[in-house]
Amino acid sequence: MKYPVLNSASYILVNTPDMVIHNGTTQTTERLSNPDSEYLRKIPSHIRKYEEVLNYIPNQVYIGNMNPSDLRDKKLPWYDLNSDTKERYGKFGEIMPQDEFIGLLKISDSFNLVLLEKSFTNDIKNKLSSHKLLSKDVYKLGEGNEIEKIKNEIEKN
């Protein structure tokens, strides 16, 4: 009898500022009930850029570049502290930028629900072709779509 085995695992921490702004539950509810709210206007100024996400000490701990005990020596709150380690990859996983994550969504899309624009697809192919885990799956991105096709699908669905 064969038994299923988990050979390996890794962490992924993704910086997706656009998804926070446009798809977060609080934001979508606020957009419906109070579209001109101060909260919605201020969101972009409170979202970390990718480089800031790399610099955030707890994120470096999460992917294994620092030890959790290193946090004990840091004064709370940690949000304004920068890490000396600013690495994307760690021994437990990685911190992925938004554009590459969108490419990963397309690569994982078995039902062809994700449509990406042609030039975006080309940019992502170039980036993911050097990714140590995803390079062999770059072909799944396809050629991308014309923006008009994407707009038509959005209107239709």
Cα(134)–Cα(68) distance, rounded to whole angstroms? 28
Report the alpha-carbon distance of residue 92 to residue 110 in Å, rounded: 27
How far apart, in whole angstroms, are the C-alpha atoms of residue 30 and residue 98? 23
Chain segment 49-74, per-residue pLDDT in tens: 999 999 999 999 999 999 999 999 89
State the average pLDDT over residues 72-80.
90
Please check the confidence at residue 6 and state whether its pLDDT lies above 90: no
Angle at which helices 118-128 and 98-107 cross, to 10°: 100
Which residues does 87 contact at the CB level (< 8 Å), separation at least 6? 54, 60, 63, 65
- Report the DSSP beta bridge partners of residue 93: 11
Read off the pTM.
0.87
Query: Distance between CA 115 and CA 80 in Å, rounded?
Result: 37
Which tens digit of pLDDT belongs to each residue from 140-149? Answer: 999 999 999 9
Whole-angstrom distance, CA of residue 123 vs CA of residue 98: 13
Predicted local distance difference test score (pLDDT) of residue 2: 87
